[in-house]
Amino acid sequence: MPLLFPHLPRLAMAPWRLSGVVYSALLNDPRQLAALGDAVHQPPYKAPPLHPVLAVRPRNTLAGDGDAIGVPAGADAVCTGPGLGLVIGRTACRVPQAGALAWVAGYLVANDLHLPISSHYRPAVRQMARDGFCPLGPVVPGSKVADPDALAISLALDGAVVWRGHSGGRVRSVAQLLSAVTEWMTLQPGDVLLLGSSADTPPARPGQVMAVAIDGIGTLHNTLVAEAA
């Protein structure tokens, strides 16, 4: 597989590289669903989602550790999305939940950024699909992570920790998410599936340095830079 993004990390000792295809699980924190309230029962959906809700992160959104990320003029802040990414190791189709981690070759640190979103009823392309809005950090082999649902996550802004979270407590755990997604779509080696961010992560502002750390995985550093009008 060709190296599409030389700034993205390669999994040590793997015969393939990150493909550049990244899927992000939305509403995988139960508090995010709860915050929608009765709106989930209104048209057009009329019910909470029964299956994973995914967003495809276009290639222009991908960035690496240390990259500066532009914030459009007029935006005072960016919604942060520190979380865990699953690196697929072999073709994943209808993966059984039991033993699903065998399809995960490694894990990485991600920061799934977006501008504030006022509605969940149409694709938030302008808010999410911006250049550099999905930085990906260090990758470690899956064999070095005993339990991907038991990892402490933190976000620091300008060197001060402003949020602490956990990879567990999701609507779907790592194995459940991988199994549910591959019931209806196939993931290829090198693809990345993001577990999804938490509901209570704080915003970051232009000029701030963000550092997302996941125990046993590593730390991802990026600086937000205000774009000219």
pLDDT in the model for residue 3: 39
Q: Taking Cα atoms as reference points, which of 116, 113, 55 lies closest to residue 80?
A: 113
User: Locate tokens 């057009």: which residue?
Assistant: 44
CB 214 within 8 A of CB 152: yes
User: Locate tokens 């989602």: which residue?
Assistant: 49
Domain membership of residue 124 (yes or no) is yes
Identify the bridge partners of residue 23 per DSSP, sorted by sequence position: 56, 193
Domain tally, the chain: 1
CATH number at residue 67: 3.90.850.10
pLDDT in the model for residue 11: 41
pLDDT in the model for residue 8: 53
Provide, rounded to the nearest whole percent, the portion of the chain with pLDDT above 90. Answer: 76
Query: What does pLDDT average to over the chain?
Result: 90
Domain membership of residue 145 (yes or no) is yes
Phi/psi at 7 (5° precision): -85, -10
pLDDT, tens digit, for every residue of 165-194? 999 999 999 999 999 999 999 999 999 999
pLDDT, tens digit, for every residue of 94-145? 999 999 999 999 999 999 999 988 766 666 788 999 999 999 998 899 999 9
Domain membership of residue 156 (yes or no) is yes
| Measured torsion, CA atoms of residues 84, 196, 174, 17, in degrees rounded to the nearest 10 | -50
pTM of the model: 0.91
Domain membership of residue 12 (yes or no) is no
pLDDT in the model for residue 229: 76
CB 201 within 8 A of CB 33: no
Domain membership of residue 8 (yes or no) is no
CA distance 164 to 128: 23
Boundaries of domain holding 94:
22-226
